[in-house]
Structures are given as C-alpha cells and as structure tokens.
C-alpha cells in the first residue's frame, strides 16, 4: 500500500502563483537561486538529452531587456499597449529565470516531448521557488514568442524558443485563490 506524502499533497492543493507585478525585493541570493534551480532540475530530461537551458536575469539585465522589448515592439509597429506588455514584466521584475527550450536531434525523443520537458522544468522552478518561501510566477507574452526578441535577449538560435520566464521575489501580500477547473467537466473515461 502506498504511503502518501501529505506535506507535498497539502502544498500542491494550496499552491498559487503570485503575479510578477505584485512581487518586490528582496529576491533570493545567488546561492538561494542555485539551490532552487538544482532542485528543479529533477525534471524529466528525456533520455538525458536535457533539451533546455537556463538564463538568469537580475535587475540590471531586466532593464536591458525592457529596452530591447520596447525597441522590438516599435520595429513591429506596436502601439502603446504592445510596448507596455513587452516592457512591463522587465520594468517591474527584479529576478527571473528564462527557460529556453533547446531541442536536440533524436530519433527516439520527438520534439514535442522535448518541449514538454522544458515546460516541466518551468513548473519545477515555480514549485521549488514557492516551496523555498518565495513568490513565483511563470510568464510568457509576445516577447517569449518573438524569435527576433528571443535571439537578442537570450541568444536563442534557430529552433530554440522561450518556454517561460519565471519571476521570483517577495510576494507583496497574500493572494486570494482563483476559481479552479471543474474536474467533473473536464474528465472523461476512456472506453474499455
């Protein structure tokens, strides 16, 4: 008979994301971030391919990325809203980790599974940061999906994409829970 890990179940049943825009300093020290990331690396790596890489973004890098996002939005003919959405997470951010999906050639591991591995790493970073007592939020937005921005900001090569930008900091206040999916509405039974 399996023995449940009640502490983990309690954590998962109450975990929430703290919006990056309400997080502030302090942020984890470099050693604390390294511990969070080392914990998070216990992710499905699909045959030891490790089809991802990480980019640590501190406050000075945030300022550079905000400027890059604005410049790219202007190149695209973006309006004030697009510029704000691009700059916003970097203007307000203090510390983040970008997870770059970096698929490897493989006859055994399809590209979609490698992309899902990068997503699993994003979720693990979110869990490890939250379990360490920090607020954390997984963001994307147009900057994550724009290949030119990703190349300028994170050195993404052809085939690489930004799976997520995980912001980590001090949660400004307790966040109310949001409505959760209705399991009865989304679960079906596979036919026998």
- In degrees, to the nearest 5, what angle opens at C-alpha 52 toward C-alphas 49 and 55? 145
> Using CA of residue 74, residue 167, residue 112, residue 38, what is the dihedral sign?
positive
Annotated binding-site positions: 15-17, 42, 46, 138-140
Question: Rounded to whole angstroms, how far apart are CA atoms 185 and 42?
Answer: 32
Annotated binding-site positions for FMN: 15-17, 42, 46, 138-140
CB atoms within 10 A of CB 11: 13
Cα–chain-centroid distance for residue 104? 20
């Amino acid at each position: 008979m399996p023995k449940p890990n009640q502490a983990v179940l309690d954590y998962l049943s109450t975990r929430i994301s703290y919006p990056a825009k309400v997080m502030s300093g302090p942020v984890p020290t470099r050693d604390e971030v390294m511990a969070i990331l080392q914990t998070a690396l216990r992710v499905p790596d699909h045959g030891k391919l490790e089809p991802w890489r990480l980019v640590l973004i501190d406050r000075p890098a945030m300022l550079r990325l905000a400027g890059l996002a604005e410049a790219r939005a202007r190149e695209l003919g973006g309006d004030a809203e697009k510029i704000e959405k691009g700059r916003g997470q970097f203007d307000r951010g203090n510390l983040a980790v970008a997870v770059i999906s970096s698929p490897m050639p493989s006859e055994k591991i399809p590209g979609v599974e490698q992309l899902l591995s990068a997503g699993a790493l994003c979720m693990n970073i979110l869990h490890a940061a939250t379990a360490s007592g920090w607020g954390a939020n997984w963001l994307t937005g147009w900057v994550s999906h724009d290949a030119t921005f990703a190349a300028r900001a994170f050195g993404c090569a052809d085939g690489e994409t930004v799976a997520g930008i995980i912001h980590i900091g001090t949660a400004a206040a307790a966040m109310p829970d949001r409505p959760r999916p209705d399991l009865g509405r989304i679960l079906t039974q596979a036919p026998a």
